[in-house]
Structures are given as structure tokens and as C-alpha cells.
Structure 1
């Protein structure tokens, strides 16, 4: 590959990342991690010595508690940790039926900017993200259990599930920050929640921090 070809390839990659983040900022909500996210997280694992998450020594009883606590952490960031969080529409409204993703596009202000989004549920799934996850996992409704399962699948896709299980809290948050705009360092121009607040919610829910 010539220097010119390499420069064009690098420019295209940078352009894609900018386009990807711009597109996501236009419609906040849970997004399936793309290959850029996954490559970044695998590279981070490799450089930090945590390649593939390293779950073989994990206490699976505690791992299940960590998963539940981490899901609560995400709901805390998304503002859906209350009793009606699983019924939440973007902008704060509620939907009535768990039969399916509500598929309503709502326009609301975010940081003073009007944004239209189909985000819904405890993890603010976009309808297109939900359809992909529901087909993959065989989910037949939008119930709380289905929403939790889909959120765990996004965490797994991001390469963060092993970190959640092992209690590597800050690393797990870093890996999912491009999926949920409320995570610290997401960089989408949406309100972000401080890592300290998220960790406090995680530990209060029984999650253990091991790094």
C-alpha cells in the first residue's frame, strides 16, 4: 500500500467515525455497537492485559448480582431507574403496552436542542436497534425481562460483559459509552452522568468493584 492509499484509507476511517457519532447524536438511545466500537474495545483489552475479558475465575453468583447492578447503573444514567422506567418514552412520556416496542417518534428538547427520537424503555432502545436485537434473541414482546435481555446483549457485543461479571466497573462503563449517550465520555452532546454517581448506584444495588 502506498502512502497515498494509506492516507486515503485513514481519512475514510476518520470520516466514518465522525459520521457515525453525528448520526447517533441526532437520535439518542441505545445503539448496537459497530465494528469501530468493538475494535476500540478489543484494542483496549489487549493493551491493558484484559483480552476477551478474562471471566474464568469469576464467581458466577456475584457475576449475576453485578449484571443486575450494572443494568440499574444504565437505567440510572438514562433516567429510567424508577418504577415506570420500563414504560418510558424519549422525553419522559409513558407508553401503555409491552406487546412491542411502541415505535413512537417523540420530539423533545435535549441540552436546549430539539431532537426527534424513537427511543423507548428502560434502556431507551431505538426501534431499529430493538428490531435487530429482538430478531437475534427471539424476543416476542417488549416486557421488562426482554428489555433486560436485549441490554445485556448490547453489553456483550461491546465486549464488556466479562468486565461486568468480574467487577471491572470503570472499564465496562468505558466500553458501553458509545451505546448509551448518558455514559461519561460518550461525547454525543447529550447530558452525561458522572462515573462516581453511577458507581454509587451500582454498589448500592449489590455490585462489586474489582478495578
Structure 2
């Protein structure tokens, strides 16, 4: 395990390339929702919102930790902008010392998961604003909606995935927007 200073790096570091990738993951997972509201951060598996399923509760207090069963016999505890499984959230939020499920914290855990999954070369590419098929392939075991080299989900159970062309176009558009904001 890394020393106590290591988690802080992952709580704070990011580049426009990383931010564009996070937006692209949300787009692939179906939680982007235009990116202008916090609504996408409370989506649970199947598309409903935490606030609809647990009315009156704070949707950002913690991962909801319940399993949604769909008629197709698929079930998942995925929730939030990055569709974190309950066990994934518990592990990484615990390691990073995160105690809520706020949009900021979801972004921080997603950033850490990306860096954990990517090779050094692909991490450097992302930080430079370069998205490759290899990067998506390396991230596919974490996010089922991202394509492997074959173009299918890593999990192969009929999971809907966006094509490389769709994801690359979305990434490039988001990167351009972020770069313009940074220059302004």
C-alpha cells in the first residue's frame, strides 16, 4: 500500500485530458445528461435517480448500496455518474478517506480508478489530451459501457457500448471546450 501522502495526489491532480475522459465515461455510461446539472451523479443502474427510489434522502450522502434487478435477469448495484458498484465504491472511497457520494467525490474516485487501470503510457497520453483505443480497452474492465479492442463490452452480456468513433468524437469535443475555458 502507498504511503499516506499518495491518496492526496489522486484527490487533486487532473488535466483537461483527464476531465475530458471522465466526461466521456459518463457519456458512455448514460449519465452525462448534458453535463450541466448534478442529476447524472445520482443515476442508478437502469436509469432512475436515487432521489426517486429513496425520496426524502440526500442522494449524495453515500453510495445507495442496493441492487437493482432488471427483467433481463441482469442486476447491479451500480450508481452515480460513473456507475460505481457498491463494493468498488467502498474500497476506493475508503482508501482515499472519502465519506460522501457528492459529485466532487465521485469525480475523485473515478480519476483514481482511471489512473489505476491505465498503463503509464496511456496515462501520459490522456494527460496530453490523446485518447486511444488502447486506453478504452484498458478501462473496459472497470466500465462495462466502454469497448474492448473487439468493440464489445468486456463483460459480453449484451451490455450497450458506444463505438470508438462516438467516444473519440465526444472526447475531442469535450477537450476542445475545456481547452477554450482554460485559455479564457
After TM superposition, the score normalised by the length of structure 2 is 0.73
Q: Is the 8 A contact 1:167 1:207 kept in 2?
A: no
Q: 2:44 aligns with which of 89, 103, 119?
A: 89
- Unmatched runs of 5 consecutive residues or more in structure 2: 1-13, 52-58, 178-184
Say which of 95, 119, 123 aligns to 1:136. Answer: 95
Q: Does 1:187 align with 2:154?
A: yes
1:198 aligns with 2:167: yes
Q: CA shift at 1:206, angstroms? A: 1.7
Match of 2:86 in 1: 127
1:83-129 CA-partner distances (Å, limit 9, x unpaired): 311010001111132010011211125xxx32111100000001110
Q: In the alignment, which residue of structure 1 is the partner of 2:7?
A: none
Q: State how 1:155-170 maps to structure 2 within 5 Å.
A: 155-159=114-118, 160-170=122-132
Aligned residue pairs total 144
Secondary structure in 1 matching 2:70: strand
More moved, 98-107 vs 184-193: 184-193
Task: Find the aligned partners of 2:143 and 2:97 in 1 and give their Cα distance.
Answer: 23
The structure whose RCO (Cα within 8 Å, separation 6+) is larger is: 1
C-alpha displacement of 1:207: 5.3
* Separation in structure 2 between the aligned mates of residue 75 and residue 143 of structure 1, nearest angstrom: 15
TM-score by length of 1: 0.64
Structure 1: 4+ residue segments shifted above 6 A: none
Partner SS state of residue 199, structure 1: helix
Paired position in structure 2 for 1:59: none
Structure with larger Rg: 1
